[in-house]
Structure 1
Amino acid sequence: MAQNEENNGHLPKNQKKLNPNVAMVLSILLAGLGQIYNKRYMKGISFIILEIAFILATFDFLWLGLWGITTLGTIPGVDHSIYLLVYGIVSLLLLALAAIFYVFNVIDAKKQAQKINDGWVIPSIKQSLKNLYDKAFPYIMTAPGLVLLIFTVVFPLLFAIALAFTNYDLYNSPPRNLVEWIGFGNFMDLATVPIWQDTFASVFVWTIVWTIVATSFQIVVGLILAVLVNDKRVKFKKTIRTILILPWAVPAFVSILIFAAMFNDEFGAINRDIIIPLIGGNGLPWLTDPFYTKIVLIMIQTWLGYPFVFALFSGVLQSISSEWYEAAEVDGATRWQKFRNITLPHVLFATAPLLIIQYTTNFNNFNIIYLFNEGGPAVQGQNAGGTDILISWVYKLTFETNDYSMAAAISLIIGLMVSIFAIFQFRRTKSFKEEGNI
């Protein structure tokens, strides 16, 4: 009889109609009350226990955290501003999780009241546990990963963002001194204070030039070599490909340190054995003149980066049907026309996401900048080296001058720039669209 009533969408005769709004309001007042109103007693009691346990277990910590993130301490030497900031961020994360649970509790109470009014029969406790296991199993399995993600990715990100709006530096280091909220002060300094303004403009321009030129060179060299080796007239393709990807086999930091020694102004092989015998003098100032250092850095990055691009393009080129080229030859197409209309579009369509990643990777390519010359040489009137990019400048601000808040502000700018560039390019890339022709 109950089954027939459920199928017909009518309530049993002895069951009163529930008010979904009442269930929702009760759940807002206390998690679980709405479920009890819906006669889901076990679920309601479980929600009530969870809420009370959360309040009792975290109340003191949440109070301290919210007070700490608001004030960052009031007594120098006693209150540790950074610890209070950490407690505050953790408190906000816990409150966010609690808010998600509370919203679920309210929505669940209202929906179940509507379902019961529509004739849904409340399952037994055994059936409820089985349904809970079936529905919650994926979430139970992913919960540890979610918690790990929150505290290894989300928490550090929020902490760095928060530091960008403080005055945390060598002279405002707890516990001796308190850190204070200064709003957009760090960003205003980057735009108005001469030394910060000049340094940021110089480093920013070089970072953009470095990213575009170095990455484009390695892509162009990789493409040219891949096209040449893929030519059907070339023999010993396997041997040639093996030789061309050898730079990829050597760890990058080893190659960078070797190049740093080779280009040393005083004893490097480039000056001693090549430049001086050819032009005389003391050789070229590879490590002491920013212009020459930048040229060398671009050349080294091209050497380090082209093998990956070459291997990537080689695989894609072999997937292009030879019939396309034969048809083009019949139509009288030249080699350049075949390359421009067949080879290049196909390669870019298949590899665009990875090529975009090459640009974003070089934008933050700390290793080559720092290992080659530590971002040097020094530049008068700036607090960054002549070849520092944004990420290496952030490193120096953090570990050499202890200007943590300014480093966090610049890191936030870097993150925004990379995110905007990546999102813009991905949205324009055909590889990420469901449909599209080459």
Structure 2
Amino acid sequence: MNRRRSAILSAIFMGLGQLYNRQYIKGVLLLLTGAAAFGYFIPRLVHDLWGIWTLGDAPSKMVKVGKVYQTVKGDHSIFLMINGLITVLILALFITIYIMNIRDAYRTGAARDQGGKAAAFRESISYVWDRKFPHLLLTIPGLGVLFLTIMPIVFMILLSFTNYSLPQHIPPAKLVDWVGFNTFKDLLTLKSWSRTFFGVFTWTIIWAVLATATCYFGGLLVALLIEQKDVKFKKLWRTLFILPYAIPQLISLLVMRNLFNGQFGPINQYLSYFGFGKLPWLTDPTWAKATAILVNMWVGIPVSMVLILGVLTAIPKDLYEAADVDGASGYQKFRIVTMPFVLFATAPILITQFAGNINNFNLIFLLTNGEPLNGEYQYAGSTDLLVTWLYKLTLNNSQFNMASAIGIIIFIIIATFSIINYRRTKSFKEEDMIQ
């Protein structure tokens, strides 16, 4: 039967089934694709798979030739890992295309068995253009996501299972080895690392909760005050309160860092002038954490205010009128009408803000740089979050395997929290607030 023959031929080599079904242009294009793929894989597939499996067996070294030392190039473990990962992804794409080629040949053969004709190349193009146009457009960004997002994530995950770190295992002079879960074990059990991890992790969670709650409820309070009937010049108030968000965060945070400087900062100068003395805003661990939360409120409350203002203007007025008829107090109207509507519309954003605060690199890095220093921590300061600690481990101290393990833990925390809480929100379970 045509369906079986064409499928078997396409399984033997791409395009043969299409040629059998008399789809000559499509068959030739698939033959060329298969030939190009085999031309790519034959010289490098075994070597790249060997490289990602072994990470090399001969490091670069200096050899004396006469009176001169020359470098003998060896294996670079990280390059081998990257090349192997790229080859595996391209192989997965090729296998996908190969399977699609077999299915296409089988479907065309089945149509011929039923008395139909194989679609001409022009008809195939028209079908793809008319019926599969969204898939066609999504292919390019899909490939971008695969190689620019998924591949770096997989590369980071692989690094966490190696010993890629200073001083012993930095290519090309030294090779990198697979060590399994030893990196995670050291992070959680080795005293020098575990003390830092649990300390930074605890502060990260406290920071995320306080930063999210203060900004959200602060924005809610400001929005409610602006929307009061007795408040005049509402547009002016909205404009004033949105200014901190309109100014680039880099500028705001650097200005705040100077304002809270313990020695020459204007805030301490004013406090000293009025006899209150100077406060260790950024030099004492507790004060530095409180200052970070305070500054985060300054840059974060306007965002929540704008979002909640939009929700408040969308609440039906007849609900408040019905509440007035029933004799509800202002607090009761807020609890029964306002707050449920606000939470329904902003719960997903609230979850997103919490996840963003866990990774709030800009504020901590620009305001405190993780300082003040903590003698009990490994490469971290008292105000460092997991993400800023990861940055220091990577760029300043070349502890790449440990930084990758921390990155995986951050992802697990954020993904788990976001998925569980988002699925529990009413905005996910219900499509409409009023039913």
Q: Same fold (TM over 0.5)?
A: yes
Deviations 1:105-131 (A, max 9, x none): 222223333333333322345444544
1:43 and 2:39 aligned: no
1:374 and 2:357 aligned: no
1:405 and 2:401 aligned: yes
Tell me what 1:190 maps to. Answer: 187
Tell me what 2:209 maps to. Answer: 212
Change (3 A) 1:124 1:374: closer
Change (3 A) 1:286 1:45: same
Equivalent-residue separation in structure 2 for 1:134 and 1:224 (angstroms): 52
Deviations 1:274-320 (A, max 9, x none): 1674444xx33222221111011011101110001111111211111
Give how far 1:429 is off: 2.6
Equivalent-residue separation in structure 2 for 1:271 and 1:129 (angstroms): 72
Give how far 1:219 is off: 0.5
2:348–2:422 contact (8 Å) kept in structure 1? yes
Opposite residue 43 of structure 1, the aligned amino acid is K
1:75 and 2:70 aligned: no
Q: How does 1:60-99 map to 2 (within 5 A)?
A: 60-77=43-60, 78-99=74-95
Tell me what 2:170 maps to. Answer: 173
Tell me what 1:342 maps to. Answer: 337
Change (3 A) 1:48 1:393: same
Equivalent-residue separation in structure 2 for 1:120 and 1:427 (angstroms): 48
Query: Aligned to 1:255, which of 252, 255, 270?
Result: 252
Give how far 1:365 is off: 0.7
1:26–1:33 contact (8 Å) kept in structure 2? yes
1:68–1:84 contact (8 Å) kept in structure 2? yes
Query: Aligned to 1:243, which of 240, 245, 255?
Result: 240
Change (3 A) 1:186 1:334: same
TM-score by length of 1: 0.90
Change (3 A) 1:48 1:235: same
Change (3 A) 1:227 1:99: same
SS in 2 for 1:437: coil
Tell me what 1:386 maps to. Answer: 382
1:26 and 2:9 aligned: yes
1:430–1:436 contact (8 Å) kept in structure 2? no
2:23–2:121 contact (8 Å) kept in structure 1? no
Opposite residue 170 of structure 1, the aligned amino acid is L
Deviations 1:352-372 (A, max 9, x none): 222222111111111111111
SS in 1 for 2:112: helix
Give how far 1:205 is off: 0.7
Query: Aligned to 1:223, which of 205, 220, 225?
Result: 220
Deviations 1:11-35 (A, max 9, x none): xxxxxx43x4444343333223333
Equivalent-residue separation in structure 1 for 2:264 and 2:431 (angstroms): 57
Query: Aligned to 2:290, which of 285, 292, 295?
Result: 295
Tell me what 1:153 maps to. Answer: 149
Change (3 A) 1:415 1:279: same
Change (3 A) 1:132 1:302: closer
Change (3 A) 1:144 1:429: same
Which has the higher mean CA deviation after the structures are superposed, 300-309 or 418-427?
418-427
Opposite residue 299 of structure 1, the aligned amino acid is L
Equivalent-residue separation in structure 2 for 1:185 and 1:363 (angstroms): 25
1:222–1:307 contact (8 Å) kept in structure 2? yes
Opposite residue 59 of structure 2, the aligned amino acid is P
1:234 and 2:231 aligned: yes
Equivalent-residue separation in structure 2 for 1:311 and 1:133 (angstroms): 42
Equivalent-residue separation in structure 2 for 1:345 and 1:116 (angstroms): 61
SS in 1 for 2:392: helix
Equivalent-residue separation in structure 1 for 2:137 and 2:296 (angstroms): 42
Tell me what 2:353 maps to. Answer: 358
Give how far 1:58 is off: 3.6
Deviations 1:384-423 (A, max 9, x none): 1101000000011011111111111111111222122222
Aligned residues: 419
Deviations 1:33-86 (A, max 9, x none): 333444444433432221122111342233332121111111111111111111
Q: Hey, which bits of structure 1, 4+ residues long, moved more than 6 A?
A: none
1:64–1:87 contact (8 Å) kept in structure 2? no
2:6–2:17 contact (8 Å) kept in structure 1? yes
Tell me what 1:10 maps to. Answer: none
Opposite residue 377 of structure 1, the aligned amino acid is P
Opposite residue 187 of structure 1, the aligned amino acid is F
Deviations 1:311-351 (A, max 9, x none): 11112111112211011110111111111111111112122
Change (3 A) 1:315 1:134: closer
Change (3 A) 1:137 1:318: closer
2:282–2:291 contact (8 Å) kept in structure 1? no
Equivalent-residue separation in structure 1 for 2:219 and 2:356 (angstroms): 17
TM-score by length of 2: 0.90
Unaligned runs of at least 5 residues, structure 1: 1-16
Equivalent-residue separation in structure 1 for 2:403 and 2:120 (angstroms): 58
1:202 and 2:185 aligned: no
Query: Aligned to 2:99, which of 91, 94, 103?
Result: 103
Equivalent-residue separation in structure 1 for 2:377 and 2:123 (angstroms): 70
2:373–2:382 contact (8 Å) kept in structure 1? yes
Query: Aligned to 2:305, which of 310, 323, 331?
Result: 310
Query: Aligned to 2:418, which of 415, 419, 422?
Result: 422
2:111–2:118 contact (8 Å) kept in structure 1? no
2:23–2:119 contact (8 Å) kept in structure 1? no
Give how far 1:257 is off: 1.7
SS in 2 for 1:218: helix
SS in 1 for 2:42: helix
